Amino acid sequence: MPRGGGVTDLWDRLDEAIGQLSDITDIRAAAIVRRDGLVIAHNLPDGVDPKLVAAMTAAIVGTSEMATLQLAQGPFARAVIEAQDGKMISMGAGEEALLVALVYKDANLGLVLMGMDRVARRVDEILRPGVRSTTGTETW
C-alpha cells in the first residue's frame, strides 16, 4: 500500500540510505548525523555509542571545514581518519546532515567513497523540503 510523505516515510528513506551503505562490503557501520552533533539514523554495532559518534563527527567535519577555508584549500570534501584496525570517513550530506562510515582496514576506498557520495546526495534529497530525486522517483 503506498504511503504519503509523512514523518514515518522520512525515517524509512533515511534507514534505506543507511542500508545502501551496508550493502558495500567494505563498510562495517554507518550513521547519518546532524551538523550540530545529534543522531539521525545509524546501524552502529552494540558497544558503539551513536551519540558519541555523532558528536565526534560534527566536531571533525566542522573543524575540517574551517581549516580548509582558513588555509585557502577550497571546499571541504571529506575527512579520513586511519587507525590500526580501520578507517572513519566523514563527509557532508547537504546543509543539514553529515555521513560517517566505519570502514575495514583493507577497504577499497574508491568503492567506499563512490557509495558514500551517492548516499550523501540521497540524504540531502530526503532532508531538503521540496527537492525530488534526480531520477524523478522517491526510491533508489
What range defines the domain where residue 108 resides? 7-127
If you ran DSSP here, which 8-state letter would residue 23 be given? T
What pLDDT, in 10s, does the model give residues 73-88? 999 999 999 999 999 9
What pLDDT, in 10s, does the model give residues 2-37? 445 566 788 999 999 999 988 898 999 999 999 999
Asked whether residue 47 is assigned to any structural domain, the reply reads: yes
* pLDDT reading at 132 higher than 70: no
The predicted structure's pLDDT at residue 25: 87
Asked whether residue 136 is assigned to any structural domain, the reply reads: no
Q: What is the 3-state secondary structure (H, E, C) of 80-121?
A: EEEECCEEEEEEECCCCEEEEEEEECCCCHHHHHHHHHHHHH
**Partners of 34 in the beta sheet?**
97
CATH of the domain at 68: 3.30.450.30
Domain count, the chain: 1
